[in-house]
Amino acid sequence: MSVELLGVLLLGLGYLALLFGCGMAVERGWVPVRVTRHPVVYTLALGVYASAWAIYGSIEFASKAGFGYLAYYLGAAGAFLLAPVLLVPIQRITRTYQLSSLADLFAFRFRSRWVGTVVTLLSLLAVMPLLGIQVQTLSDAIHLLTGSRYSAAVALVFCAVIAGCAVLFGARHSHRHRHDTLLSVIAFESIIKLLAMLGLGAIALWWVFDGPQDLQQWLEGPGAAAQAATPQLEAPQWRTLLLLFFAAAFMMPHLFQITFAESLSRHTLLQASWSLPLFLLLMALPVPLIWWAAQSTNESVPMAAYAAYVMTEHWWVGALAFIGGLAAASGTMMMIALALSGMLLNHVVLVARPPEAQNDLYGWLLWLRRGLVVAVIFGGWLFAESVGRYHSLTNLGLTAFVGMAQCLPGMLALLYWPGANRKGMVAGLIGGISVWLAGVWLPLLFDISVTTLLFMHSMPTDSPHWYNVTLTSLAVNILLLILVSLFTRTSEGERSAAEACSVDAVIRSKRLPLEAATAGDFTAHLAQAVGDEAAEREVERALKALNFTPQERRPYALRRLRDRIQANLSGLMGPSVARDIVDRYLPYRHNDAPLTDDIHFVESRLEAYRSRLTGLARELDGLRRHHRQTLAKLPVGLCVLGDDDELLMWNQALSKLSGISGDSVIGSHRDSLPAPWPTLLGSVLSATHTPLYKQAVALHGRDYFLTLHQAVLSGHDSRGGSVILVEDHTEMKWLEDELVHAARLASIGQLAAGVAHEIGNPITGISSLAQNLRYDTEDPALLETADQIQQLTQRVTKIVNSLVGFAHGGRQTVPLPASPATLKTISEDALHLIHLARSGEDVIFTNHCPGNIVVRGDDQRLTQVMVNLLSNARDACQPQGNIRIEAGTEANHAWWRVSDDGHGIAPSVKDRLFEPFTTTKPAGEGTGLGLSLAYQIINEHQGKIDVASPPPGQPCGTAITLWLPLYQQDDLSPHAPDTDC
């Protein structure tokens, strides 16, 4: 091995070691994530477009076509300038459905594994010449620098190291995710090749020439003749070249992967719309300088592509060009190998041998992919050594780019023509590929005479061969795509996929029920296809991505889960295999019911697209939002059910009423709603007449009365279903009940007034007889009896008067006296009367009222109050129970309390204790008027009543405290009414 060869080997391996170190630094987290995920890193990674062609091929092309070489850069710049209308829609589709390659995208759109396989094979054939360029430029550069005949073997060593790096940085993990390390490594290579090109340009401009002025003088002087002799491209050829490079910029396998599968966000891609063209400008700028510098030093440059070597005689200039070329070639080879291996795995290997339920599915796929990465890079070396070395870089490059351009009609149809179908796509591809193979690819392998076969002889001879082949192949491709698509049937699946891919459309997913009823069922079903471990992981990943729980049962959620699993499997095994697995193991349950749109899903997609809508669509979306908000904010509960009883809407008022959030139930089946809603909604749906008034339901521990209205959504523009309004009439029901109760009281009051009137006459008679008795006897016992009869008849009279007063609207007919009343005396009188009842004698009454507390009021009526309170207390007490009467003063009021240790007042009665006819006693034992009258009397005395049951600090019993104004000396006015009436 010569010293020069060893030097180049060490230089190359040293650079690759540096690359490895850079990758490891990112892998181990030594480089901050904010750096590795910076949009600039993404743009630099996109710089992989500038392959060895950009270093060597462009100089060769400049020597043949002048500024025509710029088509390579301007085509790609144009593609990225159109990022908002071209690349962003593709990015949306690839991210939504986890499509990582052009073959995935076409197989998804055209629902055909054949399309995926054809595109993969086309990509393999197209990138081989491009890979050949990378290997050939390496091999030629080594040969040029060292003169060694072992350059091919050294290139093979470099290929082996590059394959190792590709596996290490791009195929290390089983799951598909963004390769930060790989992107950072590719970005690093872009920096190296950019610096190398700028360095070579600077050397040319300021070393070989003496600055820009010297260059201009040379161009006007000695160099003018050579430049004038350089052939120029015709305008149609230039435009065709632009089109080829435009297509290559995002359809070449490696560029598709970086542009769409590895991009962070829409914003990152949009930023590349100006930053990548800037990078390409800087890469393109030195090309003519290097070529002119080489021409100025050597009039007949032997190898235009390696002009940088011949422009100076210094080894380090050659080494700089070599490193730039190696950086460009290694990055391109790594990315092509990784992208192509994924395509071959998904669309050739897995289609030929579908995955079975394996224990280690991920490991199996990973090793297959690694093997394919190595095979692709080795294939590139083989192609370069057996075919590429006999052809110019321009020839090889154009062959690759014309091949990939065959996917351009399909891509445009994918985005803008939903009418295209798989038959048209396959026919167009096969037609275009056939022309391309016969026109430029096969002639690389065989004798040139092949090109004279078929129809090539009819082409114009004054145009370049690549130009004729490009136009013919694309024309055949487009014609077949359109004609076959127009005259053949498009399947339902294709229509659905076309809607998903179309730039302007929103997916109109259908509401189909699934066989699997829970997320757990998903794992069990999927395990039959991919094994237990993989099924568990995939379901878990999908649940996590969707933020669902494993207990999820909502049909809407299960449909989203199915879509997500299909998308994730698509990223792992390609869309064709993923679709087959999901269709087979997670099938929909087909019934005779008409298919309806998944409105909730459509709405969620519309929300996501909001910023992209313009014009009329934006106005309509604004109206949709307005109407949606109207329903959502409606102060009446509203829910919408589909024909299949799936819940489509659950507004805020209903969420508040039911305590169930809309997010947790929308998409559920009616039967899976929490009780009592399934029954309640079911009853209104099955009712022949609505509304259903005041349905009694228990919601979160309270009784509610709900009125339900229903309307069927039918008609020409309707998607079916029912809308149900739920009104809370609990308050109204309570008011109605109160009204009925009040009416009942009023009628009873009138009745009582009548009865009282009738009682009044006999009572008057009894009172008169008692009075007579007093006059007719001297017997003290009889006199006392007569007094008591008179007191009792007075009491009956007052009760009767109260009843009459109550019946007349609660107004007391007898004016309230302002006379003094001693609480102790009243208490004793009341106790005396209670004892006369001859019941409750086993209850202990104690009077603790001080004798000096005098209140303002009517002692008879206050006695009546006390009797009622004592009577109730006595009835509440057990034998030997204690009842205490106490009194005290506070400010201008006296408190007067009756407390017992009885069973207390039931909570259900406490709220209506002072309502008339409220009693807990058995029928016939209590009128329910006692406390009502007491309340009324105390109210008339400008007092109030406090009830404590049980009293504070006691386990049982009741304490009723009356508050009455204290008697003041000036209460007796000169015109005070006579109390003796």
Partner 1 sequence: MYVYRIMLFLVFGGYLLSPLLMDGWGDPSIAWYRPFAIWGGLIALTLWLEQKRKLDER
Q: How far is CA 358 from CA 143, 242, 442, in A?
A: 49, 48, 41
Q: Classify residue 641 as left (phi > 0), alpha (psi -120 to 50) or beta.
A: beta
Q: Which stretch binds partner 1 (CB under 8 A): 53-61, 234-242, 471-479, 742-750?
A: 234-242
611 is a site residue for partner 1 (CB under 8 A): yes
What DSSP assignment string belongs to 403-461? HHGGGHHHHHHHHH-TT--HHHHHHHHHHHHHHHIIIIIHHHHS-GGGGGSTTGGGS-T
Residue 485: CB minimum distance to partner 1, A:
25
Q: Which is nearer to partner 1, 285 or 606 (CB)?
A: 285
What region, left, alpha or beta, does residue 953 occupy, with left being phi > 0 and alpha being psi -120 to 50 degrees?
left
In the complex with partner 1, which residue's Cβ is closer, 615 or 922? 615
Contacts 24+ apart (CB under 8 A), 412-416: 413/481, 413/485, 414/105, 414/106, 414/109, 414/501, 415/86, 415/89, 415/90, 415/501, 415/502, 415/503, 416/502, 416/503
* Residue pair 324/104 in contact by the 8 Å Cβ criterion: no
- Considering the complex, what minimum distance in angstroms separates the CB of residue 412 from partner 1? 14
Residue 99: which of 577, 425, 610 has the closest Cα?
Answer: 577
Instruction: Mark residues 15-44: x for contact with partner 1 by CB under 8 A, - for none.
Output: ------------------------------
Rounded to whole angstroms, the Cα distance separating 266 from 264 reads 7
Nearer to partner 1, 25 or 226 (CB): 226
Counting Cα atoms < 13 Å in the Cβ hemisphere of 143 gives 15
Residue 672 burial class via C-beta count within 10 angstroms: exposed 0-12, middle 13-18, buried 19 and up: middle
Decide: is 386 part of the binding site for partner 1 (CB under 8 A): no
Residue 7 is a binding residue for partner 1 (CB under 8 A): no
Q: Is 616 in the site for partner 1 (CB under 8 A)?
A: no
For 673, residues 6+ apart whose C-beta sits below 8 A from its C-beta are: 647, 660, 665, 681
Least separation in angstroms between CB 515 and partner 1: 42
Query: Residue 246 or residue 306: which is nearer to partner 1 going by CB?
Result: 246
* Binding segment toward partner 1, per CB under 8 A, in 222-230, 660-668, 710-718, 961-969: 222-230
Nearer to partner 1, 239 or 744 (CB): 239
Q: Shortest Cβ distance from residue 615 to partner 1 (Å)?
A: 8
- C-alpha of 220 from chain center: 64
SS3 content of the chain, % helix, strand, coil (to 5): 65, 10, 25
Q: In Å, what is the CA distance from 736 to each residue of 740, 747, 849?
A: 6, 17, 45
Single out the residue of 84, 119, 131, 474 nearest to residue 269, CA to CA.
84
Selected from 230, 604, 785, 954, the binder of partner 1 by CB under 8 A is: 230
397 binds partner 1 (CB under 8 A): no
Q: Rounded distance, CA 9 to CA 3, Å?
A: 10
274 binds partner 1 per the rule CB under 8 A:
yes
Asked if 222 is part of the footprint of partner 1 (rule: CB under 8 A), the reply reads: no
Candidates 124, 162, 242, 294; binder of partner 1 (CB under 8 A) is 242
Closest to partner 1 by CB, 217 or 801: 217
738 binds partner 1 (CB under 8 A): no
**Beta carbon nearer to partner 1, 172 or 618:** 618
- Return the range that interacts with partner 1 (CB under 8 A); candidates 231-239, 349-357, 526-534, 548-556: 231-239
Helix (H, G, I), strand (E, B) or coil at 886: strand
Minimum Å gap between C-beta 616 and partner 1 is 12
Show the binding pattern over residues 841-880: x = contacts partner 1 (CB under 8 A), - = does not. Answer: ----------------------------------------
Min CB(656)–partner 1 separation in Å = 33
| Of 797, 947, 945, residue with least CA distance to 864 | 797
Cα-based distances in Å from 230 to 65, 68, 299, 475: 6, 11, 13, 30
Q: What 3-state class would DSSP assign to 157?
A: helix
Which residues, 181 to 220, sit near partner 1 by CB under 8 A?
A: 215-216, 219-220
What mask, x for binding partner 1 by CB under 8 A, covers residues 50 to 89? ----------------xxx-x---x--xx--xx-xx----
E strand or H helix that includes residue 253: helix 253-256
- Is the N-terminal amide bond of 950 cis, ω within 30° of 0? yes
Residue 789 binds partner 1 (CB under 8 A): no
CB of 215 to partner 1, least distance (A): 7
Q: Which stretch binds partner 1 (CB under 8 A): 278-286, 569-577, 773-781, 810-818?
A: 278-286
From 207, 238, 364, 895, residue interacting with partner 1 (rule: CB under 8 A): 238
Q: For partner 1, which is the closer residue by CB, 231 or 977?
A: 231
Which is nearer to partner 1, 21 or 212 (by Cβ)?
Answer: 212
Query: Among 227, 528, 683, 788, which residue interacts with partner 1 (rule: CB under 8 A)?
Result: 227
Question: Is 615 among the residues that bind partner 1 (CB under 8 A)?
Answer: yes
Closest CB to partner 1 among 209 and 381?
209
- CA 767 to CA 562: how far, in whole Å? 93
Question: Between 568 and 607, how does the x/- string for binding to partner 1 read (CB under 8 A)?
Answer: ----------------------------------------
Piece of the chain touching partner 1 by CB under 8 A; list 229-237, 620-628, 760-768, 770-778: 229-237
Q: Which is nearer to partner 1, 130 or 204 (CB)?
A: 204
- Core vs surface per residue 821-849: b (16+ CB within 10 A) or e: bbbbebbbbbbebbeeeeebeebebeeeb
- Binding segment toward partner 1, per CB under 8 A, in 151-159, 233-241, 296-304, 544-552: 233-241
Torsion of CA 825, 831, 837, 843, to 10 degrees: 180
485-514 in b/e form (b: 16+ CB < 10 A) is beeeebeeebeebbebbbeeebbbbebbbb
Q: Which of residues 923-952 bind partner 1 (CB under 8 A)?
A: none
Contact between 609 and partner 1 by CB under 8 A: the answer reads: no
Residues 281 to 310 in contact with partner 1, rule: CB under 8 A:
281, 284-285, 288
CB of 382 to partner 1, least distance (A): 37
655 CA to centre of own chain: 20
Residue 228 lies near partner 1 (rule: CB under 8 A): yes
Q: Report in angstroms how near the CB of residue 234 gets to partner 1 at its nearest.
A: 8
| Angle value at C-alpha 673, between 669 and 678, nearest 5 degrees | 90
Using rule CB under 8 A, residue 412 touches partner 1: no
Nearer to partner 1, 614 or 880 (CB): 614
Ramachandran bin of 749, using left for φ above 0, alpha for ψ from -120 to 50, beta for the remaining angles: alpha
| Complex with partner 1: residue 228 or 891, whichever CB lies closer | 228
* Stretch in the footprint of partner 1 (CB under 8 A) among 31-39, 269-277, 305-313, 816-824: 269-277
Q: Is 53 left (phi over 0), alpha (psi -120 to 50) or beta?
A: alpha
Q: Which residues, listed in sequence order, are joined to residue 725 by a DSSP beta bridge?
A: 638, 709
At its nearest, how many Å lie between partner 1 and the CB of residue 38?
17
Beta bridge partners of residue 895, listed in sequence order: 888, 963
Whole-number minimum distance, CB 461 to partner 1, in Å?
A: 22
Residue count at the site for partner 1 (CB under 8 A)?
40
- Say if CB 541 and CB 567 are below 8 A apart: no
Phi-psi region of 445 (alpha: psi -120 to 50; beta: other; left: phi over 0): alpha
Which residues of the shown chain bind partner 1 in the complex (CB under 8 A)? Answer: 66-68, 70, 74, 77-78, 81-82, 84-85, 215-216, 219-220, 224, 227-230, 232-233, 235, 238-239, 242, 270-271, 273-274, 277-278, 281, 284-285, 288, 611-612, 614-615
